[in-house]
Amino acid sequence: MATSLPPGLLVAPDPDAPGLTARVDATDQDGAPIALDVVEERPLTIYLNAREVVTAMTVRDHPRWLALGFLANQGMLRPSDRVTGTDYDDELGVVVVRTAQVTDHEAKLARATRTSGCAVGTVFGDMMDGVADVVLPRLDVRLSDLRALSSAIARTPSLYLSAGAVHGTCLCRGPEPLAYFEDVGRHNAVDKLAGWMRVTGTDPSDKTLFTTGRLTSEMVIKCALMGIPALVSRSGFTAWGVRIARDVGLTVVGRLKGSRFQCVAGADRLVRDVP
**Cα-atom radius of gyration of the chain, to the nearest Å?**
19
- Please state the domain extents for the chain: 141-271
Please give the Cα distance from 185 to 167 (Å, whole number).
Answer: 6
Average pLDDT, the chain: 89
Q: Which residue has the higher pLDDT, 131 or 267?
A: 267
Q: What is the dihedral of CA 172, 195, 257, 234, to 10 degrees?
A: -150
CA 187 to the chain's CA centroid? 5
Asked whether residue 135 carries a pLDDT value surpassing 80, the answer given is yes
Q: Of 27-36, 117-126, 129-138, 259-268, give the lowest mean pLDDT range.
A: 117-126
CATH of domain 141-271: 3.40.140.10
Please give the Cα distance from 79 to 205 (Å, whole number).
Answer: 16
At residue 5, the pLDDT reads: 65
**Average pLDDT of the residues in 93-121:** 66
Please give the Cα distance from 155 to 183 (Å, whole number).
Answer: 18
At residue 204, the pLDDT reads: 98
Are 172 and 207 in contact by the 8 Å Cβ rule? The answer is yes
Best CA proximity match to 9, nearest among 152, 122, 135: 152
Give 17-75 pLDDT, tens digit per residue: 999 999 999 999 999 999 999 999 999 999 999 889 999 999 999 999 999 999 999 88
Please give the Cα distance from 8 to 26 (Å, whole number).
Answer: 37
At residue 118, the pLDDT reads: 47
How would you classify the pairing of strands 94-99 and 42-48?
Answer: parallel
Asked whether residue 101 carries a pLDDT value surpassing 90, the answer given is no
Give 143-178 pLDDT, tens digit per residue: 999 999 999 998 899 999 989 889 999 999 999 999
At residue 122, the pLDDT reads: 44
Asked whether residue 124 carries a pLDDT value surpassing 60, the answer given is no
Q: Name the amino acid, one letter, at 30.
A: D
**Average pLDDT of the residues in 70-85:** 91
Tell me the percentage of the chain whose pLDDT exceeds 70: 88
**Average pLDDT of the residues in 100-120:** 57
Please give the Cα distance from 68 to 70 (Å, whole number).
Answer: 6
pLDDT band at residue 2 using 50, 70 and 90 as cut-offs: very low
**Average pLDDT of the residues in 206-235:** 95
- pTM, entire model: 0.89
Please give the Cα distance from 210 to 199 (Å, whole number).
Answer: 20
